[in-house]
Amino acid sequence: MRLTTPSAPVDVAALVPELAGQGRTTVRLHPRRGAPAVTESSMGGPLLWPADEAWPYCEASQHADPSGVFGRVAMVPVLQIYARDVPELPFPAATDLCQVLWCPTSHEPDHAPVLHVTWRDSRLVTGVRTEAPEPVESEADYLPLPCVLSPERVREYPSAWTLPESLDERIEDSGWSYQYHLSTAPGTKVGGWVHWIQDPMPMECARGHEMSHLLTVASREHDAESGRAWTPLEEQHLLGPYQVPELQEPADITIGDAGSMFVFVCVTCPDRPVETIVQHS
């Protein structure tokens, strides 16, 4: 089903001319519970993974008992995105598929999963793995339910955390909250501005290159307040005084204290290294 974000309740750039030219396009992925196939973009769905390719495991020391047993935990699928659905991703040459997995347990210091990203050419995958290995340990909060995606391009503006307080106050005089209603799109998305929950944190790769926001994996697509502006038109009849899990938490994940994982990529380095930042509500 196609999902459509309503138009912004006010013209932010007109209201605050200082924001003119700072709009960016993000791709809201709109995960919704379903039964995606390996040939489809998905969240928590099956991956187009070659049968003869090793599955990624987390080998953090926290997984081993004192005798060293169970030192490896199979990672689980989080996102699979085909270039035909979201060409905005910075796919390396000769690739058209981005696969994101994580270790389904909390790790220090962020109290969040460890992430793994693979880029591949889907046309080269002939034999497909039929089942992913089961992790020997996991936390329910980090086992996403299978969801189909409905990518949508929307315009957004920088997080309120990056603005001078005087600008934020001028916007609130309009009767709308800049952070909740007019700035960055909440939820799981690709590119655009980071929906910071706390102070922004610039990212550099190990070689000192500035990294770009690749995608966000969010605990919630929106909360009660941000849902006033960001709930798709097709689903607004579902809004009410109570939370609708299938709408607001479709993958049924909770990152830390209902936070988000921001994934950054270095597009300068050929191997596309990634780093993550987790912020909690």
The pTM for the full model equals: 0.94
Average pLDDT over the chain, rounded to whole?
Answer: 92
Question: For every residue of 32-87, which 3-state class applies, written as one string?
Answer: EECCCCCCCCEECCCCCCECCCCCCEECCHHHCCCCCCCCCEECEEEEEEECCCCC
- Dist CA 70 CA 2 (whole Å): 43
The stretch 113-121 carries a mean pLDDT of 97
Q: pLDDT of 147-165, one tens digit each?
A: 999 999 999 999 988 887 7
* pLDDT over 80 at 167, yes or no: no
Identify the weakest region by mean pLDDT among 39-43, 72-76, 110-114, 162-166: 162-166
Task: State which residues form the domain around 138.
Answer: 12-279
State how many domains the chain has.
1
Residue 165 inside a domain? The answer is: yes
Q: What is the pLDDT of residue 163?
A: 82
Residue, of 55 and 177, whose pLDDT is higher: 55
pLDDT at 243 over 80: no
What's the CATH code of the domain at 211?
Answer: 2.30.320.10
